[in-house]
Amino acid sequence: MIMLQHLISNTPVWVWALLVFLVSRGIAAMKPGETSLTKLAIVPALFTAWGAWSLGHRFGGSWDAWGEWLVGIGAGMALGWMLLRRATLTINASTGKLWRSPDYSLLPLLLVTFAVKYGFEVALSASPSLSADGSFRAAYLLLSGGFTGIFIGKYVRYLRAARLVMPSGKLEAAG
């Protein structure tokens, strides 16, 4: 119990705020409706920024680390794309907003992604030498990149659906 209290109290407030935001986005995705491409870009942008910051902080300019992370992103993008293959995605031509069917995969994905990234960050904070362990490092980078890639792949799928219907100039104005 004391360890859990220590863990929670030493976690920056922004991490808890991020968790609340992610849960709210996951719950909102369970309802069908119209949304902008800009709003849909927030989650992939957050995880990309968090991942890039973590890599820079933990591994600096290591090409190997960045390469493993990018491999994870590529694999995750394919999975994210496939998760939306049966989704109904249409564009409202007058507003430029995307109508999407409910996405029941988002909330569990956000929670698992958050838990995995948080767990790895805690482990690395408690034992920085883990970043030199090849197996731990590969698991961290591939999973972190993979989860980030899922959200990027889903967003690319939304973009594709929008671009099939509307010219790019109209989409940018609607963002």
Question: Residue 165 has what pLDDT?
Answer: 63
Instruction: In whole angstroms, give the CA distance from residue 105 to residue 43.
Output: 14
Question: Residue 175 has what pLDDT?
Answer: 42
- For residue 50, give the nearest of 27, 17, 91 by alpha carbon: 17
- Is the overall model pTM greater than 0.75, yes or no? yes
- Secondary structure of the chain as H, E, C letters: CHHHHHHHHCCCHHHHHHHHHHHHHHHHHCCCEEECHHHHHHHHHHHHHHHHHHHHHHHCCCHHHHHHHHHHHHHHHHHHHHHCCCCCEEEECCCCEEEECCCCCHHHHHHHHHHHHHHHHHHHHHCHHHHHCHHHHHHHHHHHHHHHHHHHHHHHHHHHHHHHHCCHHHHHHHC
Question: Residue 162 has what pLDDT?
Answer: 79
Low-confidence ranges of the chain (pLDDT < 70): 164-175
